[in-house]
Amino acid sequence: MQINAADTAFMLVAAALVLIMTPGLAFFYGGLVGRKNVLAIMMQSFISMGVSTVLWVTVGYSLCFGSDVGGVIGNPTDFLLLTGIAVGDVYPGLGIPVYLFAAYQLMFAIITPALITGAFAYRMTFKAWLMFLVTWQLVVYYPFVHMIWGGGWMADYGVLDFAGGIVVHVLAGMAALATIFFLGKRRATDSEPHNVPFVALGTALLWFGWFGFNAGSALGASEISVLAFINTQIGGAFAAVTWMLLDWKIQKKPSLVGFCVGAIAGLATITPAAGFVAPQGAMLIGILAGSIPYAAVMFCKKRNWDDALDVWGVHGVGGAVGIVALGLLATTQMNPAGADGLFYGDISFFVKELVGVSVGIVWAFIVTYVLLWVINKVTPVRVSEAVEQAGLDSALHGETAYASAD
């Protein structure tokens, strides 16, 4: 197959859009934390742009998209250090170069572990985060990429996940839940959002980038990329409005932060279904995304689970809702390469989605908790009380976001 210039141009833009989501996430999280921890949480996102790239081009791409080993992982030697790929090689079945496909998938690998950081804000040492960033991708993220997108057993079984409901959001959300149980509650006192305009800026960058995240997952310019594009906007908007209305009713005032968090919940929830459901289905998914994750966040607070920036509720629950909704609402009328969900007469596909999301939930939670336990034997995972009270910016990184008031 020859390289398709239009598809290649489209995917270059899509890859760049997904990359900008990680700085967007840094601003989103940075605005939500207190002023003494802004740089620390932003650094946790930005460092993934470096470390995850090094890991991906050395062994990650091969583990995800190399020849299948046991249905669980790719052969690590197939594309080690990106060897075995010529500049003109075209990815099988697509019209884009292999290098471009690898670069696009790299952007997903960068942002997925960064999502987890919002859960343990104020509490994790930077050294432990670096160790976690590497090991979590190797034993959690890469196997699921291979199993669902790289020809592993879930792909053979028939599990669909258009742009990462399981692979990105469920895995990150359940890892977040494991970290908050392992680390315990915050001691920090500056735990309110310190810069709401930062939150709005981060939301704008994330929403903008999400069109590359979802529409780009069609892996070419086509009617399916257009479907994913409009469904992305619908899902994010319907969820943001739903979340704001619930906030208005319960908290008595509509907040910008609530609207922004609702938008992210909607974008996360529509992600696995964006290229498989009709726009009317996306509307329903958006309403579900603005209400079920909202209830999950309220449940988390009621249980005193210290998920600092609501990662489990927004991404973990949102991603799971999106997968279940996909099992209900998918239709081959929209995408002949997809499947028909339960509402269109196929209960078997619905069951497959339930199996896929259940495996992701269990694996991500258990393995993440074990990883943290092992890392803690090597180096302390949680910062000391003195560091937490001083703020991670100055104590861990020797810099502050704002000049002192003196």
pLDDT digits (tens, 9 = 90+) for 137-170: 999 999 999 999 999 999 999 999 999 999 999 9
Cβ(261)–Cβ(269) under 8 Å? no
Tell me the mean pLDDT in the region 368-388: 97
Among residues 325, 323, 365, 329, the alpha carbon closest in space to that of 346 is found at 329
- pLDDT score of 404 more than 90: no
Among residues 149, 198, 163, 215, the alpha carbon closest in space to that of 17 is found at 215
pLDDT bin (cut points 50, 70, 90) of residue 295 is: very high
Cβ neighbours of 242 (radius 10 Å): 22
For the full predicted model, state whether its pTM sits above 0.75. yes
pLDDT bin (cut points 50, 70, 90) of residue 406 is: very low
Q: DSSP string of 230-269?
A: HHHHHHHHHHHHHHHHHHHHHHSS--HHHHHHHHHHHHHH
Kindly report, residue by residue over 224-244, the tens digit of the pLDDT.
999 999 999 999 999 999 999
Fold of the 5-397 domain: Ammonium transporter fold (1.10.3430)
Spatial distance between the Cα atoms of 138 and 145, rounded to a whole number of angstroms? 11
Residue 135 buriedness (CB in 10 A; 0-12 / 13-18 / 19+): middle
Tell me the mean pLDDT in the region 336-362: 98
Kindly report, residue by residue over 197-227, the tens digit of the pLDDT.
999 999 999 999 999 999 999 999 999 999 9
Among residues 89, 121, 109, the alpha carbon closest in space to that of 1 is found at 89
- pLDDT score of 405 more than 70: no
Kindly report, residue by residue over 35-77, the tens digit of the pLDDT.
999 999 999 999 999 999 999 999 999 999 999 999 999 999 9
pLDDT of residue 147: 98
CA torsion through residues 179, 185, 187, 191, sign? positive
Q: DSSP string of 360-393?
A: HHHHHHHHHHHHHHHHHHHS-SBPPHHHHHH-HH
Q: Which residue has the tokens 């690998």?
A: 109
Tell me the mean pLDDT in the region 115-119: 98
Cβ neighbours of 302 (radius 10 Å): 8
Looking at the DSSP assignment, which residues form a beta bridge with residue 90? 97
Q: For residue 169, give both structure tokens.
A: 């959001």
Among residues 192, 230, 180, 151, the alpha carbon closest in space to that of 36 is found at 192
Looking at the DSSP assignment, which residues form a beta bridge with residue 68? 74
pLDDT of residue 187: 87
CA 177 to chain CA centroid, nearest Å: 14
pLDDT exceeding 70 applies to what percent of the chain?
99
Return the domain boundaries, the chain: 5-397
DSSP assignment, residue 73?
E
Looking at the DSSP assignment, which residues form a beta bridge with residue 69? 73
CA torsion through residues 291, 247, 115, 367, sign? negative
C-alpha gyration radius of the chain: 20
pLDDT exceeding 90 applies to what percent of the chain?
97
